[in-house]
Amino acid sequence: MTRVTKLCILGVVLVLAVVAAVVAVNVFADSEPSPPSSDGRVAADAVLRVDGNVIRRADGSRFIVKGANIFGLPHYTSPGSATVDQALLNETEQTYKLRHAIAAQMRSLGLNTIRLQVGSEAYKSELYMSRAEYVQRVYDIVEAFKAEGIYTIVGDHDYTGDTAKFTANYRNSFELFQAIIAKVGAREPYLIFNPFNEPSNDTNWAAWRTPNRETLQWLRGTAGFQGIVLLDTASWSWEFSPAEAQAMIDFDRTLHPDGQPNVVFSNHRYPGDNTSWTGSERTSYIESVLQYADRYPLLSGEHGWSLNGRGWDDSQPDGGAGWQRGQWLSELLDYLSSTAVPAGHNGVVAWVWHWDFNSLTSQDRLTLNQHGEIFFKHYFSKVP
């Protein structure tokens, strides 16, 4: 056998060995559940759907939201000026860098959802980063949390508490939404849209209705997004109207080929000056919102222990204590976990993982503080 022949045989053997190794790797890879992909191929078991008043996984089991709001990228410019808000930039840079560690910690605590703040004005201004970089960060965050089985709710905070701005400018958000969907994928099961945060400061349901209907139609039609859409309700997301909810559900039904609506309604609650969740406040929340959890798809997109200026700035170096409403929050969460969720309420997204004195975590963004412990003890650890 000539030296050339030997070399040819050796080459064939090596090629066959490489092919066999590749096949083996592929066989073993396929034996494990494949993570969902952002290019249209999705894991069927990760898809969430609204079924009547509840959210269900593909296997039919209930999906109960256990989440936290998170500041992962800048969503506004300095108040009153189109300039960089340095504190916000610093905060979001740190959270973005720690996204994998935060996702792993959330998973260990039983959380399954984050609500990510974005801002179309900050995106378009390119003050913080280019538009491409902004959308890349959204993608990176979705992917980091998806790796831990955690869903990402994306919501534009440009219209918070401003009905006039919302009704006039809501279409301005479509460019950012389209960019996110193009990057993350219209069929990405770990993506949920909450188009507008608290887009109303009054109970003008007509002003709320038209922009949300058009946005829903745009998401379903133009953008091709069929996943869950979470709609903040009127008056700082404080109110609920069964009639308006039913009309929106019926409208969304017409936008799906299978005729199955996929929309949820979000309410927010904070204590203000109340120290306990009792009396008329408790009665009002139950009668105006929570009693409908057995008939309509509801969840709480924001709950925390402070509002009305308490704990929202750094004027109290230690955070103080006068604004903390631990008893109020504990009592509310106890009711949600023991009564509302079993009745059909779809869960809670805490405000906020790390930012101001409403933070759930200490400066390392991983260790629960007193606020975080209340959420864990009274909600995260109590619902499945």
pLDDT recorded at residue 320: 53
Q: Is 32 exposed, middle or buried (0-12, 13-18, 19+ CB in 10 A)?
A: exposed
As to burial, measured by CB atoms within 10 angstroms (0-12 exposed, 13-18 middle, 19+ buried), residue 274 is: middle
CA pair distance 312, 306, nearest whole angstrom: 8
* 151, 145 contact by CB (below 8 A): yes
Confidence (pLDDT) at 81 = 76
Specify the 3-state DSSP secondary structure of 201.
Answer: coil
pLDDT given for residue 42 in this prediction: 52
CA 356 to chain centre: 19
Hunting for tokens 């106890």 — which residue is that? 334
Domain ranges for the chain, please list them: 48-380
Question: 3-state class of 277 per DSSP?
Answer: coil
Q: 48-380 maps to which CATH number?
A: 3.20.20.80
Helices 205-220 & 242-253, crossing angle to 10 degrees? 20
- Regarding beta strands 49-51 and 54-56, do their DSSP bridges make them parallel or antiparallel, or are they unpaired? antiparallel
pLDDT of residue 50: 98
What are the angstrom distances between the C-alpha of 147 and each of 23, 58, 140?
A: 25, 18, 11
Q: Which helix (H) or strand (E) holds 2?
A: none
Distances (CA, A) of 22 to 18, 19, 188, 300: 6, 5, 28, 48
Q: Is 42 helix (H, G, I), strand (E, B) or coil?
A: coil
pLDDT computed for residue 31 by the predictor: 26
Pairing of strands 151-156, 113-118: parallel
Phi-psi region of 207 (alpha: psi -120 to 50; beta: other; left: phi over 0): alpha
- Tens of each residue's pLDDT in the chain, 384 residues: 443 343 333 343 333 333 333 333 332 232 223 344 443 445 678 999 999 999 999 999 999 999 999 999 999 988 777 899 999 999 999 999 999 999 999 999 999 999 999 999 999 999 999 999 999 999 999 999 999 999 999 999 999 999 999 999 999 999 999 999 999 999 999 999 999 999 999 999 999 999 999 999 999 999 999 999 999 999 999 999 999 999 999 999 999 999 999 999 999 999 988 899 999 999 999 999 999 999 999 999 999 998 654 444 444 444 556 678 899 999 999 999 999 999 999 999 999 999 877 899 999 999 999 999 999 999 999 999
CA-wise closest residue to 160 among 192, 120, 131, 113: 120
With 0.85 as the threshold, say if the pTM is over it.
Answer: yes
pLDDT of amino acid 321: 61
Other CB atoms within 10 A of residue 308 CB:
11
